[in-house]
Structure 1
């Protein structure tokens, strides 16, 4: 059986903490896979906000998710606080890969590694855009 391999970034750019809510729990009484992606979306919004951006306006262009991969490492449960560390790999002329490392706060247990392929996107023209220099500058300087 092969497993998804998620490349760890050279440095983590952002850290946030998110609490698992009852709507994040599945019939197995643990954090569901779709909830992990939803929580990563929240973490991504917090990262962007930290740099003064949002998903619709980063130097005049937006972001769109091209793909996502989750590597499960443990279970999260209702009420758990999760630490999210976010970093970027594969910064290109049109996008990047965003890496998320999730750990349970109380005991440090690894919950998941997630990656999302993100592209800069012009929603008005409905096409991929170039990476804004303001974004490249912000993340390489660590803001």
Structure 2
């Protein structure tokens, strides 16, 4: 089976710091794979907040995660501070990708990279909705 290889842009619109806690570690003493996705979810929440949105209110619509892919580059350990960078890409009519990179702060060692595909969702109508024009223009789409 071929390995996932994620191509990232040179520029990211957003970055945030996240300290790794003991609860993020697995039995082998490094960052747990499931908890990596939890950290990326927190970074996504902060990304939307930086633009004045929540995941339930982006110009009146919510978002739904449609898919996720990630590629591990190195281990990460308790107490390390991660920098998670995020930006948008590959806009379609109903959604886009959120591309991200996680690196250890002091050494800049890349820990993981990935993409999360999101679609916009009208929770009142219970259906997928078009990408809001204002979000598309603000987020670079």
Report TM bin, short chain: over 0.9
Q: State whether structure 2 residue 59 is matched by structure 1 residue 59.
A: yes
| 5+ residue gaps, structure 1 | none
Q: State whether structure 2 residue 68 is matched by structure 1 residue 73.
A: no
Q: State whether structure 2 residue 110 is matched by structure 1 residue 110.
A: yes
The offset of 1:10, in angstroms, is 5.5
- Which aligned segments of 4 or more residues in structure 1 are displaced greater than 3 angstroms? none
The match for 1:27 is: 27
SS at match of 1:43: helix
The match for 2:129 is: 129
Moved more, 6-15 or 110-119: 6-15
The offset of 1:122, in angstroms, is 1.2
The match for 2:82 is: 82
Q: Work out the CA distance in 2 between the residues paired with 1:72 and 1:92.
A: 27
Q: Tell me the TM-score normalized by structure 2.
A: 0.95
How large is the Cα RMSD of the aligned pairs?
1.3
| 5+ residue gaps, structure 2 | none
The match for 2:45 is: 45
Q: Work out the CA distance in 1 between the residues paired with 2:4 and 2:93.
A: 25
Q: Tell me the TM-score normalized by structure 1.
A: 0.93
